[in-house]
Structure 1
């Protein structure tokens, strides 16, 4: 079985192709919208996706050495994400499914991140940290669904860091040579400034930290502020993770999502894993950010278990939570 997957939930338009035997990933092509100034406007990102969609699709099929007729299903991320960008991917997926008479498979973006993590790290039954621009979630699989133990109460970790570096004039771009601008800035910091630290059980709040850090950037050395906001945010996540470990008694931690690429966070989690005698597994950088391969692979798992929808029912779901999705392939 072969499934083509389309990702368009935010700044990236990606097309991946997966099959049910090694090598599981046959193609993973993408193009990312980077605004010239300020933050990302959904309408501008959607226009970008519309312009590049045909080329990314063509590149993915060429990389896999396949024609669209050889594909068994079209998987598409229907949420969560930004409405205008989600619609672009949905329109492309519907058109392909109708034109070539293929099964249409709905995929939750977060489930895509998690399943590509299982595939690439060989994790068995981990505590999962799903960390991206729009999500900060501590979860694990239990009885047909991923159950959330902790999450952000306001903005996500990645969104908080992106907003900070943008507001203080360090971005865009947000990533340079594989490093986030906040990490580059923090490397020259030496002092930790007092900033809000908000953990409630296994939930976290980052909005107060962001506001205080922006105010501090006008009084203190910017490198020290970058160091402080990063370390405090990561320590909040570690405290919540440690509580989830104590509760679930897992022997693996798996990190997925774009923030998984952070070397500083990884070093902290390595120490935590050593203290708790658990194994740390991190999704490879090439699959950490948004990509079509994760949608194709999650769609493959779903289609093999009979999950598909009619085109008329393929509505986008901008607030679709991972704990609302049944996972029959792990039953």
Structure 2
């Protein structure tokens, strides 16, 4: 699949030769390996994008230790599959890119160790990549968005971002838990499956909701707070009107169903996110919104954001699950952008960190 990149707003010129990178992602429960090619004509080609997800039983989350063990067990197979699909050898690579953070400590360390080992074995430079910047650059690449306001929504992050002076600046963010974490935790409360993901199953359940129950709407300037809304929606499961899935009742009964709660949670939380995104658009005068991160796959969020953007004469950009859910190709692409401006990570500094903010990265490849 060839993906063309508009060279506007970029410091990079078309390379004199193709560049190849292997990207390794493992900041949470997805282990990904991707091979990206930057071509001489300025276009990019996704050669491989392989992913394996650690899935726990319904009602359970994923612990760092167990997730790290999953990554260690699957790393060789996932990387071999990616290299095979790309039709290359490890010797063909220009660099090996890995997620430095943010994320869960033990899984990050497992993948960083794999990246360091490969770099030593094949004598390749390492490039440490910020997970959030990886999402943004992959979103820009796939959709063609030029200078959008970015809504980054995932299991561990909720941020409204805009670019200025070689930095992705955070205009607003969650003050406590991320939106994906909020949805995932409620999915566990009502015992939804974790396959393919709890957030996806919340989305499907919400489509059958008919009753909008009142929940706290907490925006504080450009920030949001989500822990209170989670506590409130959980409280409804103890209400005498609550009827778990599969419980018989008459249509005329005054009941609250899991579908009603999923619907109410989505509508309220997404309205909060649309509000702070619109404020950022007004502040910088942008007409583009780019939604990235795992929750960015949610069609209802895309729909609500699209209504707001259309009213402002703008448009929304989003990707499908191949690129919005954590993946190795976004790390390979962002790593190549950085590598082509002369950056690489010495082995002695190839660490990882659970807290690596988006606005700590110098975006050397953009004007």
Q: Does the CA contact (< 8 Å) of 1:261 and 1:285 recur in 2?
A: yes
1:184 shift after superposition: 1.9
Is 1:11–2:29 an aligned residue pair? Answer: yes
The DSSP-based 3-state class of the residue aligned with 2:342 is coil
Q: Does the CA contact (< 8 Å) of 2:205 and 2:263 recur in 1?
A: yes
Measure the CA separation in 1 of the matches of 2:319 and 2:167: 21
The DSSP-based 3-state class of the residue aligned with 1:74 is strand
Query: How do 1:231-250 and structure 2 match up within 5 A?
Result: 231-250=267-286
Identify the residue that residue 230 of structure 2 maps to in structure 1: 210
Is 1:316–2:316 an aligned residue pair? Answer: no
The DSSP-based 3-state class of the residue aligned with 1:180 is helix
Measure the CA separation in 2 of the matches of 1:226 and 1:256: 21
Query: How do 1:253-264 and structure 2 match up within 5 A?
Result: 253-264=289-300
* Higher Cα radius of gyration: 2
Q: Does the CA contact (< 8 Å) of 1:254 and 1:283 recur in 2?
A: no
Q: Does the CA contact (< 8 Å) of 1:80 and 1:320 recur in 2?
A: yes
Is 1:153–2:175 an aligned residue pair? Answer: yes
The DSSP-based 3-state class of the residue aligned with 2:283 is helix
Is 1:33–2:54 an aligned residue pair? Answer: yes
Identify the residue that residue 6 of structure 2 maps to in structure 1: none
Between Structure 1 and Structure 2, the one with more helix by share is: 1
Measure the CA separation in 2 of the matches of 1:252 and 1:41: 37
* Structure 2, unaligned runs of 5 or more: 1-18, 243-255
Residue of structure 1 aligned with 2:266, choices 221, 230, 233: 230
1:187 shift after superposition: 1.7
Residue of structure 1 aligned with 2:106, choices 63, 78, 84: 84
Relative to the length of structure 1, the TM-score reads 0.97
Measure the CA separation in 2 of the matches of 1:262 and 1:137: 16
Residue of structure 2 aligned with 1:127, choices 135, 149, 153: 149
Moved more, 126-135 or 167-176: 167-176
Identify the residue that residue 164 of structure 1 maps to in structure 2: 186
The DSSP-based 3-state class of the residue aligned with 2:36 is strand
Q: Does the CA contact (< 8 Å) of 1:120 and 1:284 recur in 2?
A: no
Structure 1's consecutive aligned runs of 4 or more residues displaced over 3 angstroms after TM superposition are none
Measure the CA separation in 2 of the matches of 1:23 and 1:130: 23
Moved more, 98-107 or 186-195: 186-195
Q: Number of aligned pairs?
A: 329
Identify the residue that residue 185 of structure 1 maps to in structure 2: 205
Measure the CA separation in 2 of the matches of 1:175 and 1:53: 21
The DSSP-based 3-state class of the residue aligned with 1:144 is coil
RMSD over aligned Cα atoms? 1.2
Identify the residue that residue 97 of structure 2 maps to in structure 1: 75
Q: Does the CA contact (< 8 Å) of 1:12 and 1:33 recur in 2?
A: yes
The DSSP-based 3-state class of the residue aligned with 1:97 is helix
Deviations 1:199-237 (A, max 9, x none): 011100000000000001221322221111110000111
Relative to the length of structure 2, the TM-score reads 0.88
Identify the residue that residue 294 of structure 1 maps to in structure 2: 330
1:30 shift after superposition: 1.0
Measure the CA separation in 2 of the matches of 1:183 and 1:52: 29
1:23 shift after superposition: 4.3
Measure the CA separation in 2 of the matches of 1:141 and 1:322: 11
Measure the CA separation in 2 of the matches of 1:216 and 1:234: 19
Moved more, 7-16 or 216-225: 216-225
The DSSP-based 3-state class of the residue aligned with 2:208 is coil
Q: Does the CA contact (< 8 Å) of 1:34 and 1:173 recur in 2?
A: yes
Shift in CA distance, 218/173, structure 1 to aligned 2, threshold 3 Å: farther
* Structure 1, unaligned runs of 5 or more: none
1:185 shift after superposition: 1.7
Measure the CA separation in 2 of the matches of 1:235 and 1:23: 35
1:93 shift after superposition: 0.4
